[in-house]
Chain A
């Protein structure tokens, strides 16, 4: 399988919403370790609206669909996560204008655009312990398969492993952006909730799309 269809994108979004809602309290607990403890609620507020509106959203193409999601996320996800996650979806939507299916190469460009959007909006640099520190290895994992075997399932498997690894490695870092920066060194030793959220979502996407995690390189 090398094409990602509109149906797969919609299924992925539905899975993402379910993951975010199921982990609402867990993400809050992670955020409370060094931030203000509302990350799970903030994210869930937006994805609750997505779950409710999913049946009636514009599904004429992937671009229009993602742009609509970007609006909902920006409006309903609280704090700075709203515009940051919203920008990621907006940049992705702009790249998918009029498309009804995308390739792994498109996906690599989409994640790159999302990273650039988040950086433009929030000013984060690699190593600041933010969302982009999980998205960069995810993008790279996708890119390897885009230029290699073109296998979307293998790309998802390796992107998930890369995300989990990045979230784990970043625990020891000191946060330099967002609310966690105010706690300074106290943020060292705690996970970044945004990075964990991305890894958790990808893990659930593996389950949803029947991607075996057993072959993941150790």
Chain B
């Protein structure tokens, strides 16, 4: 296992401590719940936006906390849903008169933990609602999800809701906004290698040097098919066709395009993929208003990438352009 580790059991804890130390004064840390939140939150005039999924997808979500993005993140262990007490502590710390919005990627474990915590918090009189993100077109159901999985498209839900919350949007407004983003965002990923969770110490699955998993999930779960690798442009073409045909995206649409690295693919290759994605958008008559090339939602050190398209309207364009600041400054 080629990893920088002390005790593998402390991997998540020490990563979060690093984020906390690297941003002096900006965050509060509650170590027993892996909870990191903005020092200036909660604010009773603003809805608190929180997310907690398994770790191993960084920068999602512990490094997506900051003004204009999440107010807090409380991740679980690597690829494991946060336990209920963690979710409840997150909601309790971030409770606000304006409410708490919990963003959840569509995985059964995450949903069950947050659902329980939300029920307990509501019983205490805390105003809290959830939104489930499901942008992955690869498979209708998966090992860990009923319905589509939530993957890199979650960034756009966070970004839009984060910006709107800064402007004082209500909890109801934010739920509607999250729904609009989720309805208009589509993703698909491809893996060229597996990844190795620190505690497991071995790759999650076997894949040959010349193979790819098309439609990979961000926990290494199977996608549409295992196939021989092919030229990068042909891989982008297949992802683009699957995504563009799904919404569908139509000529004249204004879009945001994301090429997201899964953790083990260099930025050079990501731009090579973006080149083809931009060509395909142009051919399809889609206007790229904003682009995002880098790592947004990873799977540890997995070699691979995903393509995400978001159809924009004036409101979304405006919210994506709003300022935001998080520990990894990717935009």
Residues of A within 8 A of B (CB): 67, 71, 74-75, 80, 82-84, 86-87, 90, 94, 120-123
Tell whether, in the assembled complex, residue B112 and residue A75 are in contact, meaning their CB atoms are under 8 Å apart: no
Given A86-B116, A90-B116, A90-B119, verify A80-B84 contact (CB < 8 Å): no
Q: Are B112 and A84 in contact (CB under 8 A)?
A: yes
Q: How far is the CB of A115 from chain B (nearest CB, A)?
A: 15
B85, A83: Cβ atoms closer than 8 Å? no
Is B112 touching A122 in the complex (CB atoms < 8 A)? Answer: yes
Known interface pairs A80-B109, A94-B123, A123-B146. Does A87 touch B116 (Cβ–Cβ under 8 Å)?
Answer: yes
Which DSSP category, helix, strand, loop or mixed, fits chain A's interface?
helix
A-B Cβ contacts below 8 A, count: 40
Closest Cβ of chain A: how far from B273's Cβ, in Å?
33
How long is the Cα–Cα vector from A121 to B119 in the complex, in angstroms? 11
Q: How far is the CB of A179 from chain B (nearest CB, A)?
A: 10
Given A80-B108, A90-B119, are A75 and B146 neighbors across the interface (CB < 8 Å)? Answer: no
Q: Please indicate the chain B residues that have their CB under 8 angstroms from the CB of A82 in the complex.
A: 83-84, 112
- Indicate if the CB atoms of A121 and B115 lie closer than 8 Å: yes
List residues of chain B with CB under 8 Å of any chain A CB: 83-85, 88, 108-109, 112-113, 115-116, 119-120, 123, 146
Contact A75/B85 with A80-B108, A83-B113, A122-B112 known, Cβ cut-off 8 Å = yes
How far, in angstroms, from A52 to B196 measured CA to CA in the complex? 33
- Nearest opposing residue in chain A for B81, CB measure: A83
In order of increasing CB-CB distance, the 6 nearest A-B pairs are A83-B112, A74-B84, A75-B83, A75-B85, A71-B85, A121-B112
Q: Which residues of A contact B116 (CB under 8 A)?
A: 74, 83, 86-87, 90, 121
Please tell me which one of the listed residues A74, A80, A120, A123 contacts residue B83 in the complex, with CB atoms under 8 A apart: A74
Interface centre among B112, B116, B119, B120 (most CB of A within 10 A): B116
Q: Which residue of A lies closest to B112 (CB)?
A: A83
Q: Are A75 and B108 in contact (CB under 8 A)?
A: no
A71-B84, A123-B146 known; A80 vs B112 contact (CB < 8 Å): yes
Nearest B residue to A77, CB-CB: B83
Considering the chains assembled together, what is the distance between the CA atoms of A174 and B92 in angstroms? Answer: 41
Pairwise interchain contact A83-B84, C-beta atoms closer than 8 A: yes
Nearest neighbor of A75 in chain B, beta-carbon distance: B83
Q: Which residue of B lies closest to A71 (CB)?
A: B85
Residue ID in chain A nearest B83 by CB atoms: A75
Q: Complex Cα distance A204/B94, Å?
A: 43
With a cutoff of 8 Å between Cβ atoms, the chain A residues found around residue B115 in the complex are 83, 120-121
Contacts of A74 in B (CB 8 A): 83-85, 113, 116
Q: How far is the CA of A82 from the CA of B85 in the complex (A)?
A: 12
Residues of A within 8 A of B84 (CB): 71, 74-75, 82-83, 86
| Bound: A84/B108 CA distance, A | 11
The CA of A121 and the CA of B88, in the complex, are separated in Å by 16
Shortest distance in angstroms between A122's beta carbon and chain B's nearest beta carbon? 7
A–B complex contacts, Cβ < 8 Å, 9 sampled:
A74-B83, A75-B83, A80-B109, A83-B109, A83-B116, A86-B116, A90-B116, A94-B123, A122-B112
State the Cβ distance, B92 to closest chain A Cβ, in Å: 13
Closest Cβ–Cβ distance, residue A129 to chain B (whole Å):
17
Complex Cα gap A87–B116 (Å) = 7
Tell me how far the C-beta of A100 lies from the nearest C-beta in chain B, rounded to whole angstroms.
20
Chain A nearest CB: distance from B329 CB in Å? 35
Q: How far is the CB of A98 from chain B (nearest CB, A)?
A: 13
Residues of A within 8 A of B88 (CB): 71
Report the Cα distance A113→B146, complex, angstroms. Answer: 24
Residues of B within 8 A of A86 (CB): 84, 116
